[in-house]
Structure 1
Amino acid sequence: MIKLLLTPLVIAGLLATPTTLLAQNDEWFVGSHPDYHAAMVRDIDGLFVAVYFAKEPTIWGSPLLMETNEPVCDTKRPMSFHKTEAIMAFGKTATDRLEVVRQTVQGFFDSATKSCSVADDLEARFFHRFDDAYLATDALLVEAGIFPLSDESSEAAAKSEDTPK
């Protein structure tokens, strides 16, 4: 439980390195951390997304997770929203997994900007080189022997989705 609470801090720590400070302006940051096999991080105009693969088992149905923080848009209710979501990227190829991850991140972007007035080019800037960043992250996971996830992983995720809460 404590690890789940510390996750946003650890991922935010990825943003504290000089290399990633430059990445905040124009690129996704791709790298690793002692607690994560691989992560890709983007922080732009109040939108924060980190897609990562935790080394330790999680309570989520998939070990591939997305941390998000939405910007404050409504001045009457000045609060941002932090969320953790599992990404069910069980595809056999990097391209299959990319499609699932991109749809998940696109869903976050659409939801986060729905009630905000944003710059016309924010979506283009946010997703600039997204595919390249994901494929680099995926390659790190393939190299580590993690992707593609086994059929056992996808079956376990399917069972956890079917389990009543």
Structure 2
Amino acid sequence: MGGGFPEQFLPALAANQSMKEQIRFACRNGMPVYAECGGLMYLCQSICTLSGEQFSGVGLVPARVQMGNRLAALGYVRARPVQPGILGGPGMELKGHEFHWSTMEDLAEQAPAYSLSGGRGREGRTEGYVKDNLLASYVHLHFRYNQEAARNFLAACANYKGCGRRINEW
């Protein structure tokens, strides 16, 4: 699920129960789910606007999103997975960028995706959410930097589909 500005379409996204149910069903049945920025926001339990209005999200990430009136993050970062996930695990280094006006709050379960350096914020801050076949983060990754991560994601997709193709055939 790509980035974007879900806050611009909150009434329609919140009302689309069928889509939210299908996303939850697919994830809970093993489909690899990778979400960046706006995708992370939508996968949370809710998004709260600047005016305080709450809109329901998909609910796969046990947190809520609070919109802000200034940039919460901006810049290029190095992201190191904190635990194993669909892209890889600890020891891997990824590069990407952050650009968002919201923050993730009330994360009930501590399962951060990455430890970040660079950009705004302290070195080693954790960010995102990973659980089983789900990885959601504010970071927009540059997969050309670490093609192993892309191959790992493709392998997870191939294993889910059961197509039996080896990753070096991609």
Q: Same fold (TM over 0.5)?
A: no
The structure that is strand-richer by fraction is: 2
TM-score by length of 2: 0.27
The structure that is helix-richer by fraction is: 1
